[in-house]
A and B are shown apart, each in its own frame.
Chain A
Amino acid sequence: MSQELPTWLAESPAYEPPRDRDGFVRTNLLRLAALPARMAQAAGKPAFLDRLLQPVPALVRFAGLIVSVVCVSAATNMAFVWVVFAAVLVSLALRPLPQLRATAPVAALAALIAGLVVLPGALMGMAPPSLVVRMAVKTFCTVGLTLGLAQGVPWSRMASALTGAHVPAAVVFVADAAMRGIFVLGRVAQHLNESLALRSVGHNQHKSGSAGAIMGMTFVRASIFAGEQAEAMACRGYDGTSTAAPERASRVAGVLYALAIICVVALFVWFERAMGVG
């Protein structure tokens, strides 16, 4: 005796999820959240140039960065900027792939934005067209130099260097905790985003709510981490003072690096004085 399937059971279970434009959540938020973690991951593999400059004290490298950025920004002769641009490009080309991917697109994007900011003025005749290129190249150089230092010098070394430079311990501690927090919370936000992307089935009508929830949850986790950190510090007898271990660096390498920076300044002055605006 045969039994017929009920019509509702005989129907094809074909399921077509409604089309949803959740690209914003999937790509933009996820990518932004993953950025600190990616930077940390990229910083793990030292580049050839960073290995070469490892003995140089972090503070000297930081001072070198400031001097270079000031020279590039103040340069009226583009020849100097092109020399720095070539140096930044070469240093980028020599970086391992993860570092290159974390650096070059960011510097290029910053240059693009700087160029776009000046573009309307150039189009309306209020600024020379060359200013667009000038701004873009200068921005590329300064961002490239800064990211290069950020990837070449671990934050722990920078904290030690700041202590050595008599920066108040409280400032160093807050900056140190903030840096660690950015990386940890970046990973948290990334995990939350991945969970959201995996569980998003069908049409999500509350995208802004989802994004807000991720940010809110990240904030809640931040306060939990802060509480846990405070308890841990109390357990270890923290009495309000913090000290960073002195940085182990070569004095000779520091002097050589400082000489190189002086050469950069001399080149800047020579280009400005001998060649004028170009």
Chain B
Amino acid sequence: MHIPDNYLSPQTDAVFAVAMVPIWAHCARKVGKELNARQMSFLGMAAAFSFLLMMFNVPLPGGTTGHAVGGTLIGLLLGPEAACLAVSVALGIQALIFGDGGILAFGANCFNMAFILPFVGCAVYRLVLGGEGASSGRRMAAAFIGSYVGLAVAALAAAIEFGVQPLLFKDAAGAALYCPYPLSVSIPAMMIPHLLVACVVEGVATVAIHEYVLRVAPGLVADAESGSSSLVPVAVLVGVLAIATPLGLLAEGTAWGEWGTDEIAEVAGLAQAPAGMANGFEWQAIMPDYALAGLPDAAAYILSAVIGIALLAVIFRLAASFAPARRSGA
């Protein structure tokens, strides 16, 4: 679901980038007002969760791969606004350092995975949960359904963004300039594998980690009034997930819509890659596809996970240090 550069037209990229600015501003204001310094540090851990979950690729029907995002999970723990910021920062690091998702398409990726996913997921969660005093079974069901629907709607948004490109941007001969797949292809290609596998993985991961955090560190949750707020158990879980990331390499193939420019002509059955894609912007990532020249894939994958987690922890801890003292006591 990480849209690479040149699949969307620059105009589309610009629209989503501009659309995200007020969303980020609102989320930053809300997070700055509501979260204390400890919860801000936990937000870094939550962003690390999201970063790691996106590294766990699972095989999808049709020979492609997919992954969970963890946006609803962060939304349930710290609020959808915090989730928006956390997933945005994780996506930024993925795009800049690892070339996972486009630089120009950063706004679109954030719109799908950092905005739609957590906000829809949390809204569905609240709807299913009902009022106060719900049983733990109902809470788990609500978390599963919320995260499932959140990821499904985000995948639908990405499919629509792909699918409208050939309608809006064509050359004089009528050939697509960017993503060549129309809506009739992009929607089923994205939705069927996501509904069957990726959304289920998202739901299971959300329920498991949400329940774990509620049990070991309930004080970290945004609306918590008491309970442990130790970051240690959460850090241990992040460490275990980081070591297990090479499992994501077991899924072979490329996610739908994430093929390189050199692959797209063959995959789409075209004589040549669409002009806008072939001549588009190209970002030289430092560790493209979480790989390093000469280093075994599994080692490079773990190294990437460690760099990503540590970067997120440093960024969010520094951000937490700017939280006003009156809120830093929790």
Chain A positions within 8 Å of B, measured between CB atoms, are 77-79, 82-83, 85-86, 89-90, 92-93, 97, 100-101, 104-105, 129-130, 133, 137, 271, 274-276, 278
Which of B50-58, B201-209, B261-269, B305-313 sits within the interface?
Answer: B305-313
Is the Cβ of A77 less than 8 Å from the Cβ of B303?
no
Measured CA separation A164–B12 after assembly (Å): 66
B293 close to A (CB within 8 Å): yes
B19 close to A (CB within 8 Å): no
Is the Cβ of B317 less than 8 Å from the Cβ of A93?
yes
Is the Cβ of B293 less than 8 Å from the Cβ of A278?
yes
Is the Cβ of B318 less than 8 Å from the Cβ of A82?
no
For B317, list chain A residues within 8 Å (CB): 93, 97, 100
Closest A residue by C-beta to B311: A89
B314 partner, pick from A100, A271, A274, beta carbons under 8 A: A100
Is the Cβ of B321 less than 8 Å from the Cβ of A100?
yes
B286 close to A (CB within 8 Å): yes
Measured CA separation A89–B307 after assembly (Å): 7
Is the Cβ of A77 less than 8 Å from the Cβ of B318?
no
Is the Cβ of A130 less than 8 Å from the Cβ of B311?
no
Is the Cβ of A275 less than 8 Å from the Cβ of B284?
no
The 5 closest A-B pairs by CB, nearest first: A275-B294, A89-B310, A278-B293, A93-B313, A86-B306
B271 close to A (CB within 8 Å): no
Closest B residue by C-beta to A278: B293
Interface of B is mostly: helix
B172 close to A (CB within 8 Å): no
For B240, list chain A residues within 8 Å (CB): none
Closest A residue by C-beta to B317: A100
For A90, list chain B residues within 8 Å (CB): 306, 310
B243 close to A (CB within 8 Å): no
Scan residues 276-330 of chain B and give those whose CB is less than 8 A from a CB of chain A.
Answer: 284, 286-287, 292-295, 300, 303, 306-307, 309-311, 313-314, 317-318, 320-321
For B287, list chain A residues within 8 Å (CB): 82
Is the Cβ of A276 less than 8 Å from the Cβ of B310?
no
A97 partner, pick from B294, B311, B321, beta carbons under 8 A: B321
Minimum C-beta distance from B221 to chain A (A): 22
Measured CA separation A86–B292 after assembly (Å): 13
Is the Cβ of B307 less than 8 Å from the Cβ of A278?
no
Minimum C-beta distance from B51 to chain A (A): 13
Measured CA separation A129–B303 after assembly (Å): 23
Q: When A89-B314, A100-B317, A100-B321 are in contact, do A271 and B294 touch as well, CB less than 8 Å? A: yes
Measured CA separation A187–B319 after assembly (Å): 26
Is the Cβ of B292 less than 8 Å from the Cβ of A278?
yes
For B295, list chain A residues within 8 Å (CB): 79, 275
Closest B residue by C-beta to A103: B314
For B306, list chain A residues within 8 Å (CB): 86, 89-90
Interface CB pairs A-B, < 8 A, 18: A77-B293, A77-B294, A78-B293, A79-B292, A82-B287, A83-B303, A86-B306, A92-B310, A92-B314, A93-B314, A97-B317, A100-B314, A100-B318, A100-B321, A101-B318, A133-B286, A137-B286, A278-B293
Is the Cβ of B286 less than 8 Å from the Cβ of A105?
no
Measured CA separation A83–B294 after assembly (Å): 13
For A82, list chain B residues within 8 Å (CB): 287, 292, 303, 307
Minimum C-beta distance from A277 to chain B (A): 9
Q: When A79-B295, A82-B287, A129-B284 are in contact, do A105 and B310 touch as well, CB less than 8 Å? A: no
For B310, list chain A residues within 8 Å (CB): 86, 89-90, 92-93
Besides A78-B292, A100-B314, A133-B286, 19 more A-B contacts (Cβ < 8 Å) are A77-B293, A79-B292, A79-B294, A79-B295, A82-B292, A86-B303, A86-B307, A89-B310, A89-B311, A89-B314, A93-B313, A93-B314, A101-B318, A101-B321, A104-B318, A105-B318, A129-B284, A274-B294, A275-B294
